[in-house]
Amino acid sequence: MNYEQAEKNLKERLADNPCRGIVLGMGEDRTLRQFSWIMGRSSNSQNRFYQRNVGGVDLRTAPADVSKVEDPRLIIYNAMNHCSPCHIVSNGDQTDTVSAEFMERSHKTHHSAFVQALDSRFCEPDAPTFTPRITGYQAAGENIAYLALLRADPVAREIWTGVVKSSGLTKDQFKKPGMKDSEATEEYNKAIGKRAGFNHQQFPTIRSFFELPLDSWHGFCLTTYKPGSKALDSFEGEPFIVPIFGSLEESAMNLWNHLDDGGANWRVAFAGKEIQPDGEYRMFVHNTRQKV
């Protein structure tokens, strides 16, 4: 492992980046480690926390204050789960898609089930950002990290942005009495999509899959965005290495402390999972908000 590069990545690739992220790796004791975090700029994104072991799911997001939820879609989802021997982590409800495919995998390998599950999914429909879906899994006792990146086709995204600028349409034009802002946004996106020739719910998506060997002291990271909080450009390229030092709690907080928000209070929640070769696991959660 290139320790210098891993430390450099912590300082540079998480700076000014209000992302969600996942890391799959291995601790110095050679236990598998998974990490997941939430950052958010809007009040809707910030109004949540991580809950452990709810409804048979290892980890899920939940609203901190139900009365302040503007739109639960894309912010409330199962973030971690397991279907023996596989432990899944993601930034959205594709966790459930992969879990369901693993449960039906009697005629497939783990990885083919993983690929097939995500072939049915698209980047998030939050136009015009079209946030990537980042997903990974590890099988207990195997020293391999499997990751996937589902990001918007940049050409299609550019076309969408051009139509937004040239159409003259605004979201307010679609707001009817008694209609929620999220419903007006949906109608607006349908109108833009009709002009652009794309369905924002199934936006053209580039799917990349990675099978990466693991060794102690490091993990592979995917974030939803590249550094730069104004543009929110989608992550591109391969997962990058980050260091995993010390206990589960120590390694989790080291990553947490490198999530740089410049004092903007983007950091919302962080979770870590430590997986033994026999599939037994334990978790650590750090929240900035609690249930009201």
Q: Which structural domains are found in the chain, ordered by start?
A: 3-124+131-150+206-287 (3.60.20.20), 154-202 (no CATH)
Whether the Cβ atoms of residue 14 and residue 258 lie closer than 8 Å to each other: yes
Is the per-residue pLDDT at 98 higher than 90?
yes
Q: For the whole model, what pTM was predicted?
A: 0.96
Is the per-residue pLDDT at 162 higher than 90?
yes
Of 121, 111, 112, 117, give the one whose Cα is nearest residue 98. 117
What single DSSP character describes residue 234?
B
The three-state secondary structure class of 221 is strand
Give the least confident one: 103-112, 134-143, 152-161: 103-112
User: Which pLDDT tens digit goes with each residue over 192-245?
Assistant: 999 999 999 999 999 999 999 999 999 999 999 999 988 899 999 999 999 999
Average pLDDT in the 265-272 region? 96
Q: How confident is the model at residue 1 (pLDDT cuts 50, 70, 90)?
A: low
The three-state secondary structure class of 252 is helix
Average pLDDT in the 8-26 region? 96
Q: Residue 220: CB partners within 8 Å, gap ≥ 6?
A: 23, 24, 25, 145, 147, 210, 212, 239, 240, 241, 242
The pLDDT value given to residue 97: 97
Is the per-residue pLDDT at 106 higher than 90?
no
Task: Give me the count of residues in the chain.
Answer: 292
